[in-house]
Structure 1
Amino acid sequence: MKSSVKALSVCLAAAVATVATAVAALAFPQPAFAQDPQSCRAVRFADIGWTDITSTTALASTVFEGLGYQPVTTVASVPISFAGLKTRQLDVSLGYWWPVQETAIAPFVDAKAINVLQTPNLTGAKATFAVPTYEYDAGLKTFADIAKHRAELDGKIYGIEPGSSANAAIQKMIATNQFSLGGFKLIESSEAGMLVTVDRAVRDKKWVVFLG
């Protein structure tokens, strides 16, 4: 499940409420905050570089711009984006994945530095291990099957960017030998880099397991 997080800001809270109304109406109203101080005009988004978040951030930025705001997007890792929200260098992130990032965000939420919006912007989605169809058909269907195909996978699991909660969860599985994954190597990369590797493996019909 993916939710939105924002820094505690009165003018931003009002803007988010107005944007939600505008989206629900499927129409852009006239700029609604012409009377707002200039400090409330800029809306600073965090984009952690994942395709879904880049897309939703671009859509939200278009809506904000239509309302007369000045959206700015900064590409940053998950830890840096949370820190930026805490210090008010950033205003909002549309990329909080629950529960995988719950541990990372908890100190900020407990300190009331970040507020998680209660209504998620995406439900029913999963972040988990994925494999090409030909591997699934050959028997790699569960986490427990990964270790059975250690040789074909060259003992590697492909993750996303260093410092991500998802990578930390995978590394913990390896370190504690869950599903007999002890000895596997986590290959950390960007989402784009990981997908390039997967695309190359699929073209060559090589085995690969990755975070999908």
Structure 2
Amino acid sequence: MRPWLRWLTIGVVGGVAAALFVYLFLCGPGLSGRPGPGETAHRGAPAERAGEPPPVAPGTNGGTARTLRIGWTAWSDAEVVSLLAQRLLERRMGLEVERVMTDIGIQYQGVANGDLDIMLMAWLPVTHRDYWEKVRDRVVNLGVLYTGRLGWVVPAYVPEAELAAIPDLADPAVGRRVGGRVQGIDPGSGLMQASERAMEAYNLEEMDLVPASGAAMTAVLDRAIRNRDWVVVTAWRPHWVFAAYDLRFLKDPEGVLGGEERVHALARQGFHNDFPPRVTGFFSRLYLPQEELAALLLEAQDTSPEEAVEGYIREHPARIRYWLTGEVEEPGKNPQSQ
């Protein structure tokens, strides 16, 4: 090889090698201490700054830093309760929290499989009985968050003498007054499954159970009330519609739709090992009285869920402190002064 060609070849190879080294040092995985192209930091934790430990809540021991994934469905109560938990865990305990919106059946399966860390809307013992029976040995029940009730609802102006109970809908005249339909919510939800059983139990062959969404149900209800029309909708308490309108549940003599329900927090197995003990304690103590939750839901409807949650946190410092620490407010002590 001619000398000038040999030196040219060496120069080109050397230049390529130098450029490759610079690229790997600045951008490549592992060399610069930063995630490379297509990589992310460890699940649930941002890439840590040099010399800084993972963001574990102060004053706790045990548990690892990772994103806490909360499952929820687009129901008004589930939205504000999951958002309330997210705000407190992020701001007061330094955790990263992700709210994952998905169908209720997928939530149960996700918690059982470990894809979700926790769900805050397990309606028991009746509404979600079928889901619960499938996963009860693979989840951890952290306790009751609030109480509720499911059923079929009509505006209070509908004469109770003509429509007081679900069996009354079998009367063709009554069926026509309500348009021959029961307005439902999300297909596959516990309420819709129970409503399907009610349709059969009360022999409502001439009626249609119409699946839709929670938002569609409230829209149908609102339009009927504005026009003073008769209407039957599937609904649940707590819900802002009970604060906004004068409503009543239809009697359910066979108890197909269940009675008073308790809404539980269900966590995946190993939850208490992967998060600081304060987190498990928080969910175990988290409980919303019915009146406070009703007011919170109405405020969320009038403003936004975010504004309503911020207002609740400001207005209930003693309750928030108890959820977070287990400390009970001393009588006569002003929590605002602390």
TM range, normalised to the smaller chain?
A: 0.7 to 0.9
RMSD across aligned positions (CA): 1.9
How far off its partner does 1:52 sit?
0.7
Aligned match of 2:134: 107
* Compared CA separation, residues 203 and 62, structure 1 to 2 (3 A): same
State the alpha-carbon separation in 2 of the partners of residues 138 and 103 from structure 1: 35
Partner of 2:181: 156
Q: Tell me the distance in 2 between the aligned counterparts of 1:156 and 1:192.
A: 17
Uncovered stretches (5+) of structure 1, i.e. residues with no partner: 1-29
| Letter of the 1:121 counterpart | L
User: Any idea what the Cα deviations from partners look like across 1:49-84, whole Å, max 9, x if unmatched?
Assistant: 110111111111112112011110011111111121
Is 1:129–2:159 an aligned residue pair?
no
The residue that corresponds to 2:104 in the other structure is: 78
Partner letter of residue 135 of structure 2? F
In structure 2, C-alpha distance between the alignment counterparts of 1:107 and 1:211, rounded to whole Å: 25
* Pairing of 1:1-212 with structure 2 (within 5 A): 31-33=58-60, 36-38=63-65, 41-65=66-90, 66-98=92-124, 99-109=126-136, 112-117=137-142, 119-123=143-147, 125-137=148-160, 139-148=162-171, 149-174=174-199, 176=200, 178-212=201-235
Q: In structure 1, how many angstroms separate the alpha carbons of the residues matched to 2:59 and 2:189?
A: 37
TM-score (norm 1): 0.76
Write out per-residue CA displacement over residues 181-212 of structure 1, whole angstroms, 9 at most, x where no aligned residue: 22321111111111111111111122211112
Deviation track 1:117-170 (CA, whole Å, cap 9, x = no partner) reads 3x31113x2111110111145632212222231011121111110111211111
Give the conservation status (yes or no) of the 8 Å contact 2:170–2:206: no
Contact 1:46 1:75 in 2 (8 A): yes
DSSP 3-state at the match of 1:139: coil
Among all aligned residue pairs of Structure 1 and Structure 2, give the percentage whose two residues are the same amino acid.
25
Give 3-state SS (helix, strand or coil) of 2:185's partner: coil
- Tell me, yes or no, if the aligned pair for 1:43 and 1:70 is still in contact at 8 Å: yes
* Structure 2 SS opposite 1:96: strand
1:33–1:67 CA contact under 8 A, matched in 2: no
Bigger-Rg structure (1/2): 2
What residue identity is the alignment partner of 2:68? V
Q: Secondary structure at the match of 2:74?
A: coil
Looking at structure 1, the residues matched to 130 and 102 of structure 2 have their Cα atoms a distance apart, in angstroms, of 18
What amino acid is aligned across from residue 204 of structure 2 in structure 1? L
Stretches of structure 2 lacking an aligned partner (at least 5 in a row): 1-56, 236-338
Could you say what secondary structure the match of 1:56 adopts?
helix
Give the structure-2-normalised TM-score: 0.49
